[in-house]
Amino acid sequence: MGEMSGFQLGVIGALFLSVASSVSIVICNKALMSNLGFPFATTLTSWHLMVTFGTLHAALRFNLFENKSIDMKTVMLFGILNGVSIGLLNLSLGFNSIGFYQMTKLAIIPFTVLLETLFLKKQFSQKIKFSLFLLLVGVGIASITDLQLNLMGTILSLLAIVTTCVGQILTNTIQKRLNVSSTQLLYQSAPFQAAVLFVSGPLVDQLLTKQSVFAYKYSPIVLAFIILSCLIAVSVNFSTFLVIGKTSPVTYQVLGHLKTCLILAFGYTLLHDPFTGRNIIGILVAIFGMGLYSYFCSQENKKKQSPDPLSSQLKDKEETLVIAQDKEGHEVKKPNKDSLV
């Protein structure tokens, strides 16, 4: 029981850290990009991963965690896949309307469920599927404003969905099958993610913004916000791997939509973004769906943990039989032992 309560506290801590750090970095990046005019999102993400790797390397030097060797080919492919998925998501946003981009993010949950069902033979109950449906409807109502389709944008969105789903499923699978921690996996994969985005980032950003990250004039306040963003990103990247490892890719996506609702609410209260009745209804429906998802997941986990009464009775009978046989054996052996003496 102590181990189980400790695990639950770890999950709650990971979820809280993920939400707090993600909302913080969105507010920081919104100020950096919207107010200060720094539009280079993909390049900024490569810097995030470089700082994350540097921080983890320093932590390793101070023996704050133990490094564990993972097959280089696995780590390299995993890191490159995650780096490509980030670049594709940014390209998807650039080539699509905001509404279609939100639809792309919403599609990640059902596609993840589909992949886990087909390839990992994971079962999702009808209750879980219904709660996820409510969540997606709510987030869709709250965040989707327009849907403008184009061929290039659609292709990029499909590629972004596939790479993101596979990357998150692998994050969970590698940690569990290879028995590595989220910190160990992030430490070894971050350089490859950073390398992909460091090379492709300036090209992607120039394609999307028509500006060069190398020609940008960096003021002291922009540099300060970039440094702050990179520091917060360490927590974001760490908590992402932690949450997926302790829960599942679907739960991480559900958490991501909670962040979307919180960001909409923070945008209204702190940044005075436009907010309508439709936003409020969508957020309430999404939160209700999240609540149902959490409740159904906890109920199913309790069922898995609670022993089957029939099997426990059989086990008790077997133990009683073994004890009786042992007693009989001792009773038979005792006179033989005495006679030998």
For 139-175, how does the pLDDT look when each residue is reduced to its tens digit (9 = 90+)? 888 877 766 778 898 999 999 999 999 999 999 999 9
pLDDT tens sequence across 82-103: 999 999 999 998 888 777 888 8
Question: Cα–Cα distance between 109 and 36 in angstroms, integer?
Answer: 33
Locate the DSSP E strands across the chain: none
Residue 255 to residue 248: CA distance in whole angstroms: 11
Mean of the per-residue pLDDT values of the chain: 85
Region 318-333 average pLDDT: 51
The residue among 310 and 243 whose pLDDT is bigger is: 243
Amino acid of residue 8: Q
Please say if the pLDDT value at position 336 is more than 50. Answer: no
Q: Give how far the C-alpha of residue 287 lies from the chain's centroid of Cα atoms, to the nearest Å.
A: 18
Return the minimum-mean-pLDDT range out of 148-152, 157-161, 296-300, 315-319.
Answer: 315-319
Around Cβ 26, how many Cβ atoms within 10 Å? 18
Lowest mean pLDDT of 64-73, 258-267, 280-289, name the range.
258-267
Question: Strands (DSSP E) along 159-307, which ranges?
Answer: none
Nearest-5° Cα angle at 173, 165 to 257: 40
* C-beta separation of 213 from 205 below 8 A: yes
Looking at residue 215, the DSSP 8-state letter turns out to be: T
Q: Is the pLDDT of residue 318 over 70?
A: no
Q: Is the pLDDT of residue 332 over 50?
A: no
Confidence of residue 313 (pLDDT cuts 50, 70, 90): low
Between CA 240 and CA 198 the distance in angstroms is: 21
Mean pLDDT value of segment 8-17: 84
Which pLDDT band holds residue 335 (cuts at 50, 70, 90)? very low
In whole angstroms, give the CA distance from residue 193 to residue 184. 15
Locus of tokens 């917060």: 232
Amino acid, single-letter form, for residue 99: G
Task: Taking residues 262-275, report their average pLDDT.
Answer: 71
- SS3 at position 15: helix
Residue partners of 20: CB distance under 8 A and separation at least 6: 235
Q: Which of 285, 297, 286 is nearest to 251 (CA)?
A: 297
pLDDT of residue 328: 53
Cβ distance 75 to 180 under 8 Å?
no
> Helix, strand, or coil here: 168?
helix
DSSP state of 271: S
| Residue whose C-alpha is closest to residue 264's, from 144, 164, 109, 86 | 144
Measured between alpha carbons, how far is residue 208 from residues 36, 90, 204, 294 in Å? 18, 9, 6, 38
pLDDT value of residue 314: 52
